[in-house]
């Protein structure tokens, strides 16, 4: 009876982990990680475009206002995503989160609870969920399971997880920036020892969190298939199109005047008498 019950428990767990690593829900780690990669790609592309404009021999103009807003939006989005993916699992069910770190915590807790489980069982069950199942790998595991055992005991597994978690800890400076400068109204004193975030710090964190993600996939499931981060359309197709055409400028100016006029109501005093 215990074996039957455990088989169901294991199946449900592996299916759950599979969903988090391959599903399409916007809250799943795989979707969050894909968006982190996409934004990193195109921000670096836009950076290179600005550099080309600045180095141009001809006198060219750069829309620094637009570029500044784009940069601020990028930083906020990326820092928030990395912060979400680094969040630890909560102890109480009603406060539990879906993140890369929470997934690691869940797998670790399960594997320690059922310490007699063999990692090749996880790999084989996981591979049966793949649309393009690697039959050769499953056959190899069945013939020589010891070769594919990624850990020997719970302590060994804990050491391997520690390596992945330590990678995520390297993202703490990004998480601190999120907490102190974006998400919360921190005091000046609490910000004194927080290092201001630089592009290099953010790029390092983006790379580290992807390393941790790929390491988890390989450790638990021998899954090293590249994650598709491409768009279903050509995202640079219209980069050479002007934001506003010359014959549209009068309409744009009129829109700006209307916006400014409407926003003057923001500065009025509330009727609280």
Q: For 50-62, how does the pLDDT look when each residue is reduced to its tens digit (9 = 90+)?
A: 888 777 666 667 7
**Within a domain: residue 70?**
yes
**Within a domain: residue 74?**
yes
Rounded CA gap, 39 and 206, in Å? Answer: 10
Residue 196 parent element (H or E): none
Greatest mean pLDDT among 123-132, 194-203, 252-261 lies in 252-261
Rounded CA gap, 270 and 165, in Å? Answer: 50
pLDDT at site 1: 41
Does position 133 have pLDDT exceeding 70, yes or no?
no
**Within a domain: residue 259?**
no
Confidence of residue 273 (pLDDT cuts 50, 70, 90): low
What is the mean pLDDT of the segment spanning 216-244?
86
* Nearest by Cα to 181 from 198, 157, 164, 204: 198
Give the structural domain span for 206.
2-118+162-247
Choice between 123 and 261, residue whose per-residue pLDDT is larger = 261
What is the mean pLDDT of the segment spanning 118-144?
77
**Within a domain: residue 267?**
no
Q: Which of 26-35, 38-47, 107-116 has the lowest mean pLDDT?
A: 107-116
190: three-class secondary structure by DSSP: helix
What is the mean pLDDT of the segment spanning 31-55?
88
pLDDT at site 251: 96
pLDDT at site 4: 61
Rounded CA gap, 185 and 31, in Å? Answer: 29
Q: Which of 1-15, 152-166, 247-261 has the lowest mean pLDDT?
A: 1-15
What is the mean pLDDT of the segment spanning 23-29?
91
Q: Which of 118-127, 147-156, 233-242 has the lowest mean pLDDT?
A: 147-156
Q: Can you tell me which residue has the tokens 């209307």?
A: 258
What is the mean pLDDT of the segment spanning 247-262?
95
Q: Answer yes or no: are the C-beta atoms of 106 and 32 closer than 8 Å.
A: no
How large a percentage of the chain has pLDDT more than 70?
A: 95
Q: Can you tell me which residue has the tokens 């939006």?
A: 73
**Within a domain: residue 126?**
no
Choice between 134 and 88, residue whose per-residue pLDDT is larger = 88
Residues in contact with 223: Cβ distance below 8 Å, sequence separation at least 6, in sequence order: 21, 126, 217
Choice between 210 and 128, residue whose per-residue pLDDT is larger = 210
**Within a domain: residue 152?**
no
What ranges make up the beta strands (E) of 88-176? none
Q: What b-and-e string marks burial along 76-106, b requiring 16 or more CB atoms within 10 Å of the CB?
A: eebbebbbbbbbebeeeeeeeebbbbbbbbb
Instruction: Say how many domains are in the chain.
Output: 1
pLDDT at site 238: 85
Greatest mean pLDDT among 33-47, 147-161, 182-196 lies in 33-47
What is the mean pLDDT of the segment spanning 221-231?
84
Confidence of residue 110 (pLDDT cuts 50, 70, 90): confident
Greatest mean pLDDT among 33-47, 157-171, 175-189, 211-225 lies in 33-47
Mean pLDDT of the chain, nearest integer: 85
pTM: 0.85
């Amino acid at each position: 009876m215990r074996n039957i019950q455990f088989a169901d428990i294991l199946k449900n767990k592996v299916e759950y982990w599979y969903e988090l690593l391959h599903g399409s829900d916007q809250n799943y780690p795989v979707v969050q990680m894909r968006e982190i990669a996409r934004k990193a790609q195109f921000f670096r592309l836009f950076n290179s475009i600005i550099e080309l404009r600045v180095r141009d021999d001809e006198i060219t103009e750069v829309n620094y206002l637009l570029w500044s807003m784009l940069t601020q939006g990028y930083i906020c989005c990326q820092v928030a995503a990395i912060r979400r993916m680094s969040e630890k699992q909560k102890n109480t069910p009603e406060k539990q989160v879906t993140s890369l770190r929470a997934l690691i915590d869940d797998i670790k807790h399960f594997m320690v609870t059922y310490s007699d489980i063999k990692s090749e069982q996880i790999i084989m069950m996981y591979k049966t969920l793949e649309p393009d199942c690697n039959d050769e790998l499953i056959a190899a595991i069945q013939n020589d399971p010891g070769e594919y055992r990624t850990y020997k005991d719970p302590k060994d597994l804990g050491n391997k997880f520690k390596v992945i978690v330590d990678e995520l800890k390297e993202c703490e400076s990004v998480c601190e920036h999120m907490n102190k400068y974006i998400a919360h109204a921190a005091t000046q004193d609490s910000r004194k020892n927080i290092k201001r975030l630089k592009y290099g710090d953010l790029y390092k964190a983006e790379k580290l969190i992807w390393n941790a993600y790929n390491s988890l996939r390989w450790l638990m499931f021998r899954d090293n298939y590249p994650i598709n981060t491409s768009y279903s359309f050509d995202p640079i197709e219209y980069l050479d199109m002007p934001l506003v055409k010359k014959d549209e400028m009068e309409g744009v100016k009129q829109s700006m005047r209307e916006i400014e006029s409407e926003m003057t109501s923001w500065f009025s005093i509330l009727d609280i008498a």
